[in-house]
Amino acid sequence: MSDEPTAATAGSTAPRDPAGDDGRVPGAERLVVPLDVDDLVSALRLARQVQPYAATVKVGLELYSAAGPDAVSSLAEMGFDVFVDLKMFDIPTTVERAARVVGALGARYLTLHARDDAPMLRAGVEGLLDGASEAGLPEPAALAVTVLTSDPGAPPHVLPRRVALAVECGCAGVVCAAADLKDVREIAPRVQTVVPGIRPAGANVHDQARVATPAEAVAAGADLLVIGRPITQADDPAAAAAAIAASVA
């Protein structure tokens, strides 16, 4: 879009010296920035601002409801890994068909609720992989949402049961709180871990009950860090993203 700001004109004072072949700084491979806005133009503008500092952007319910498949395909074409966070939970046939669509759009990740429903989880995994394969795209990853970071009261038996179920059903990764990483690694040492509820030291925790700093989460074994408002609501989102990427490089 010709009216969109480029990385050099987005009004940021963050450094512009990415070191990688893909134009991103060290540490960017760990960052997932949620584009929690209600129109595609705003989402693409924010994505351009943080592109040197985050390899992955998240399309959640708000943006997907506003822009649908265009949000996923547009961001994938920009060179992002696209994390589609729809937390699918329905009958297996519905989940399989919806996941197939997401896979064909070029999503890199898709979230499924890891409730006690193995047929649904398997259907989601299979649909996602089949959709990507049929479109000639790289294999995506289904992520099982274990216990929400906004939920401090989940019974202790829930996490291990859901992690084991996710692995059994073929999920490539799980979404969990930093505090749960030790238990997750003991149950499934090779599973990919995606951790929301990340807040730099001193930042407002907002509605997150179980938070960690970026460095704490990485030290505990996190592969990907979902960091929203500390970046997206900062006066300079690019500078905020750059600082966080540097802290985990």
Token digits of residue 126: 């299979």
How many other CB atoms are found less than 10 A from the CB of residue 234? 14
Q: Strand, helix or coil at 59?
A: strand
Position 147 in a domain: yes
Q: What confidence category does residue 22 fall into, taking pLDDT thresholds of 50, 70 and 90?
A: confident
Position 144 in a domain: yes
Residue 17 has pLDDT above 60, yes or no: no
CATH code of the domain in which 70 resides: 3.20.20.70
| Strands annotated E in the chain | 31-34, 56-59, 81-88, 109-113, 141-145, 173-175, 192-195, 224-226
Position 22 in a domain: no
> How far apart, in Å, do the first and last CA atoms of the chain sit?
32
Token digits of residue 169: 């059903």
Helical packing angle, 237-248 and 40-50, nearest 10° = 50
What pLDDT, on the 0 to 100 scale, is given for residue 2? 39
Do the Cβ atoms of 114 and 165 come closer than 8 Å?
yes
Do the Cβ atoms of 169 and 201 come closer than 8 Å?
no
Question: Looking at 87, 161, 185, 229, which residue is catalytic?
Answer: 87
Do the Cβ atoms of 143 and 176 come closer than 8 Å?
no
Structural domain span for residue 82: 28-248
Do the Cβ atoms of 197 and 216 come closer than 8 Å?
no
Position 82 in a domain: yes
Question: pLDDT by residue (tens digit) across 172-223?
Answer: 999 999 999 999 999 999 999 999 989 887 666 555 556 789 999 999 999 9
Question: pLDDT by residue (tens digit) across 49-63?
Answer: 999 999 999 999 999
Distance (Å, whole) CA 67 – CA 35: 12
Position 13 in a domain: no
Question: pLDDT by residue (tens digit) across 128-143?
Answer: 999 999 999 999 999 9
Number of domain units in the chain? 1
Distance (Å, whole) CA 37 – CA 35: 6
| Catalytic residue flag (residue 87) | yes
Distance (Å, whole) CA 20 – CA 31: 15
DSSP string, 145-177: E-S-TT-TT--TTHHHHHHHHHHHTT-SEEE--
Position 200 in a domain: yes
Position 7 in a domain: no
Bridge partners, residue 141, by sequence: 109
Position 18 in a domain: no
